[in-house]
Structure 1
């Protein structure tokens, strides 16, 4: 009987150990499943937060160009005097706006006094020639004149009139009013006028300095018609067309952005590089001030 009881106790012990091992194994399996599930969820979250893969077809169509802001030749002027002389008056400052034809300086040249005297003499000669022509025409109409004398009077008047017109045009080119000169108002000052409207750049003269026709007194630029001159490489030329819109930003200040439209593409490569200059007109000026020769970066999609 004792022996049977001993076997029963041993069976209970074996059953208890088996039950503990099974529970531990189940706990380990559950823990492994939980860890695997957590890892899958973490992977899903990481995939959701990651940037999507770039569309290579779109990236390949983007053309990036660099260049700078430029002006057409007619919007930039170097102001020089029509004759040499001494600077007597400067009527503007750097950064001031001037209009087309506005006087910006006066140059004194005493040599133009002789030209004005010559004009006055020519006007007097023309008046005398005109009176003689009228007299000969009157005599001829009354039958008392000589045809040859009338022809000589007509020739003299034509020569005197041509002299007045020629010297008058010279005076106008110098900025001197011939009508004032004919009234005896002789001047030694030659006005220097701006050929375009715009902003005065650097002034290269000072009061009392001598200048001649090759001296640049100052520069004037009109920034209203700024455009972009950018370089497109040979591989990108098939993607660049007239009429395309370019997203442009200042290279040294990327926060300044604006748009421009391509209006011309050069037909030849630039010297020393396999690139072609692309010209784009600014569609709308940004709030920030744009100046010629600022570096820009453009993107065409």
Structure 2
């Protein structure tokens, strides 16, 4: 029993002895954010200290997007009365001009519509003449007022019918004032309503199309713009009128300037919104859906800046070194943004860096010394 007590005591002492260094290591790790240099090391490494400078900076935001067309520049061509497609020469990609014939529709309903218009017009002419006769007779007390009223009603009814047929003819592209019994036609020409090009052809010759069917889709390229995707965290930085530089994937060396025209006030399921930008000079080769990269030049603002060589990257974070006392420096975590001209804007949630003496040149030399000191300990 005495032997067991001795063995237990030895194990307890051994456990205590092995636990102590672990505590020392943790304490050592807590001190590795500071490093002390002598004056010769400072001079040989070219380490320079100074204060961060407050400057007006214009940062940028890099995003990507696609070429987009506003809904008012996309035209779906249909035929309101239905019929058979007699002819068309359109292919996707072809350019068309406003008023140009892009297809021909024929149907017996077209003949019936023209016939109804001409018959109604003739009947109206007769009723107008009869109305004039009845008015004269009524003034001479030859006929009853009832007869005059009936003829007047018939004239008004025919005028309504004629107006309806007239509007239907205009709807299909047939001017009613030019219609006569000699030029009745069973077909009508479809004309392009815009200058642009063909994006879709949905029918073939001989196919019957309903009034709701889209025969062709045309695009007016005059108002194409860039639709940029911007993440939620960056939306607050944008405003209408900010300058944008855009490059296409197939020619990244060419920049196309533009500006923000409008942007959405909501975000989608990917936590991003859409920003619409127009081109100052429209590229000739634009097509809807083309990918592009863009740089948005944000508004100028006041920021605390240091040279790029003042910031070191270690692990997944960025740091600067502040002087806590002569020849002693402490590593401070910061967030940065490009500020142009070799500068970075810096920010720390832990310290007010504006009044601190910082390493502004060769900060990586300080980091190297810090790492060596930690390894030695």
With structure 2 as the length reference, what TM-score do the two structures score?
0.60
Relative to structure 1, the CA distance from residue 148 to residue 215 in structure 2 (aligned partners, 3 Å threshold; closer, same or farther) is closer
The question of 1:281 aligning with 2:278 is answered yes
Per-residue deviation at 1:184?
4.0
Q: Please point out which of 228, 231, 234 is paired with 1:233.
A: 231
Q: Check conservation: 2:248, 2:291, Cα contact below 8 A.
A: yes
Per-residue deviation at 1:279?
0.9
1:36-83 Cα distance to aligned partner (Å, 9 max, x none): xxxx9xx99xxxxxxxxxx9x999932111110111111111222223
Q: Check conservation: 2:84, 2:209, Cα contact below 8 A.
A: yes
Q: Check conservation: 1:91, 1:103, Cα contact below 8 A.
A: no
1:199-243 Cα distance to aligned partner (Å, 9 max, x none): 123333332233223333222111121111101112212321111
Structure possessing the higher radius of gyration over alpha carbons: 1
Greater per-residue helix proportion: 1
Name the CA distance, whole Å, in 2 between partners of 1:188 and 1:58.
72
Q: How many residues align?
A: 249
Name the CA distance, whole Å, in 2 between partners of 1:186 and 1:265.
52
Per-residue deviation at 1:193?
2.3
When the two chains are superposed, the root-mean-square deviation of aligned CA atoms in Å is 2.7
Secondary structure (helix, strand or coil) at the match of 1:86 reads strand
Which residue of structure 1 aligns with residue 353 of structure 2? none
Which residue of structure 2 aligns with residue 99 of structure 1? 97
Q: Please point out which of 281, 286, 289 is paired with 1:290.
A: 286
Which residue of structure 1 aligns with residue 82 of structure 2? 84
Moved more, 113-122 or 202-211: 202-211
Which residues in structure 2 correspond to 1:156-235 (within 5 Å)? 156-235=154-233
Structure 2 portions without partners, runs of 5+:
1-43, 47-52, 298-377
Name the CA distance, whole Å, in 1 between partners of 2:72 and 2:260.
20
Name the CA distance, whole Å, in 2 between partners of 1:58 and 1:250.
31
Moved more, 227-236 or 173-182: 173-182
Secondary structure (helix, strand or coil) at the match of 1:131 reads helix
1:82-141 Cα distance to aligned partner (Å, 9 max, x none): 232222121545443323343210011112222222222212221221111000111233
Structure 1 portions without partners, runs of 5+:
1-39, 45-54
Greater per-residue strand proportion: 2
Which residue of structure 1 aligns with residue 296 of structure 2? 300
Which residue of structure 2 aligns with residue 135 of structure 1? 133
Moved more, 220-229 or 178-187: 178-187
Q: Check conservation: 1:123, 1:182, Cα contact below 8 A.
A: no
Q: Check conservation: 2:80, 2:212, Cα contact below 8 A.
A: no
Secondary structure (helix, strand or coil) at the match of 2:199 reads strand
Name the CA distance, whole Å, in 1 between partners of 2:200 and 2:232.
38
Name the CA distance, whole Å, in 1 between partners of 2:142 and 2:288.
75
Secondary structure (helix, strand or coil) at the match of 2:130 reads helix
